[in-house]
Amino acid sequence: MLFSVSRSPVARRRTIRRLTVGILAASVAVAACGSTDPGVSARRSSDAGNIDLPDSGTTPPPSSVEPNANDATIDFGANKQPQPYDDFLQASLADIQDYWRETFPQLYGSPFEELQGGIWASYPDRTEPLPTGCGGDPNEQYVAQGNAFYCGNGDYIVYDDFDLIPGITQLYGNSAVGVVFAHEFGHAIQARVNAIPSDPVVYREQQADCFAGAWTAHVARGESKLLTFDDKDVKSGLLAMVLVKDSELGADVFQGGAHGTAFDRVGAFQHGFIGGAKACKDMETNPLPLLNLQFTDQQDVQNKGNLEYDKINTDVVGDLERFWKQTFTNLVGHPFNPPKVSSYPHGGPFPSCDGIDEKSYPFNALYCPSTNEIVYDEAFARTLYNKVGDFAVGYILSDAYGDAVQAQWPSSLKGEKRSLLSDCLTGMWTRDTIPPPNGGTVPDDHLIVISPGDLDEAVSTALLIGDSGFNSNVVGSAFEKIDSFRAGVLGGFDECQKRITGG
């Protein structure tokens, strides 16, 4: 979705189709492909991690779940087909309600008001009526098709037990279901305090995502009596946020029913995970910044082709060189020597680099200090381009460029911390490629600007290439990489500087 900026009288801009759920599922599977498909491999020296989580997540058997007498229960209806996640769902709902019984009084100074209208399973064969406080035909019992929602007019939750929830569990596992319901309970909390206006919708969605992140962290820290979450479960929460991102590419996030991009929704989830429910409450008066990227003209909307793959190694690399030659000199006080960039075949022959054993290849992208060269796996890059998008390739090249920047700084960071700083530096460059607001003129020296969807592609790429867990400490987990990338996009060098100094 990168726009290649032409200096002809009429600028030519190219975009790609939005990332669909199916493509995301396929892209996540790239890391597990066989030898005929390039796998994700980015081996670096290890370092101390930032977040510790249990080694494995488990759900107790149903007999060990003792529901509170006040718990809102699920009305399954007589014709519900048993689902493999049913026990997990009930344990999750019990824990979410326990969490709010404890947390709500701490935040708002009054007892938690129990959910009055219950929780309802919706599916095509249901015969019993569902509540109609939020509209719908009382004779149609599959009112939540492809959805889960909280209705304030009746104080109840309805969820699709036929398509949506089974699909989520098939893609991302049971823990993603818990995150979905933690989000809906976030809306129930909002109804009890009425602190955020209903317009624009995105601010309410952001806080509900944040509440879901706070609950997920509570389980991950071992505070739940009913559930435990490990690294995989937390990653499933991030994937759930990507799944429910806005589907209309380039829509105004402050208009209509927009819920937010993956970049913004994952960010809100992380905000709650790191800062807890108190950080989410603070959003009532201090909402998170939102990036409202939109297409600039109808040609952009209609043109659904990628920036040509071959132009990534010219326009993207050229813009990285432009940005860092300017920025490096301003920050460090001496010139930056741009690295050469080239590709190598997935199966070799591999480039020679001092300190790198040939057996360590393939890397997704690697900076070699001895030759001042960035090399990347050609087959992996093309797979990433086809399954995720053009900015996914830009992301891995920029991360390697960040390593080059640190080498010439010079930075003393190693391993995971060095890799995460490169993610932040990638965010800095991305920030500089955001098109000017209100149709402003792109500076003459810029070779590209990003478009709607590119930030989501960066999030998806981090989910692909990040470490398997928080405690792997090689290049950083997906959670940590996205957090660092967002810091660079939203805060620029000041936020990246904090990662250098540990501030």
Q: pLDDT digits over 69-107, tens only? A: 788 989 999 999 999 999 999 999 999 999 999 999 999
Q: Among 1-5, 170-174, 190-194, whose mean pLDDT is lowest?
A: 1-5
Q: Is 31 inside any structural domain?
A: yes
Query: What token pair was written down for 12?
Result: 């030519």
Query: What token pair was written down for 288?
Result: 């998170």
Does 215 lie in the same domain as 75? yes
Q: Is 297 inside any structural domain?
A: no
Percentage of the chain lying above the pLDDT 90 cut: 62
Q: Is 373 inside any structural domain?
A: yes
Q: Residue 152, class by beta-carbon neighbours within 10 Å (0-12 exposed, 13-18 middle, 19+ buried)?
A: middle
Domain of residue 97: give its range. 62-229+251-282
φ/ψ (deg, to 5) at 454:
-65, -40
Q: Is 205 inside any structural domain?
A: yes
Helices in 283-333 by DSSP H: which ranges? 298-302, 309-311, 317-332
Does 259 lie in the same domain as 345? no
Q: Is 337 inside any structural domain?
A: yes
- pLDDT value of residue 57: 55
Asked whether the predicted pLDDT for residue 123 surpasses 70, the reply is: yes
Averaged pLDDT for residues 351-377: 94
Query: What token pair was written down for 445?
Result: 């020296």
d(CA 372, CA 375) in angstroms, rounded, equals 10
d(CA 212, CA 138) in angstroms, rounded, equals 30
Asked whether the predicted pLDDT for residue 232 surpasses 50, the reply is: yes
Average pLDDT for the chain: 83
Cβ atoms of residues 461 and 396 within 8 Å: yes
pTM assigned to the model: 0.85
Does 362 lie in the same domain as 319? yes
373/54: higher pLDDT: 373
Residue burial 221-256, b: 16+ Cβ < 10 Å; e: rest: eeebebbbbbbebbbbbbbbbbbbbbeebbbebeee
Q: Among 147-161, 275-289, 398-412, 487-501, whose mean pLDDT is lowest?
A: 487-501
Cβ atoms of residues 448 and 457 within 8 Å: no
Q: From 193, 212, 191, 209, select the one nearest 259 (Cα to Cα).
A: 209
Q: From 165, 214, 168, select the one nearest 189 (Cα to Cα).
A: 214
Does 202 lie in the same domain as 331? no
Averaged pLDDT for residues 218-232: 93
Does 270 lie in the same domain as 319? no
- CB neighbour list of residue 364: distance below 8 Å, 6 or more residues apart: 40, 41, 42, 376, 377, 380, 381, 384, 396, 465
Does 320 lie in the same domain as 211? no
Does 182 lie in the same domain as 109? yes
Looking at the structure of the chain, the number of domains it has is: 2
Does 271 lie in the same domain as 175? yes
Beta pairing partners, 343: 376
Does 489 lie in the same domain as 358? yes
CA 71 vs CA 68, 173, 193, 229, 356: distances in Å? 5, 24, 20, 22, 57
- pLDDT value of residue 2: 59
Residue 70 three-state SS:
coil
Cβ atoms of residues 363 and 377 within 8 Å: yes
Does 342 lie in the same domain as 415? yes
Q: Is 111 inside any structural domain?
A: yes
Does 67 lie in the same domain as 39? no
Asked whether the predicted pLDDT for residue 45 surpasses 70, the reply is: no
Q: Is 293 inside any structural domain?
A: no
Q: Is 298 inside any structural domain?
A: no
Does 381 lie in the same domain as 264? no
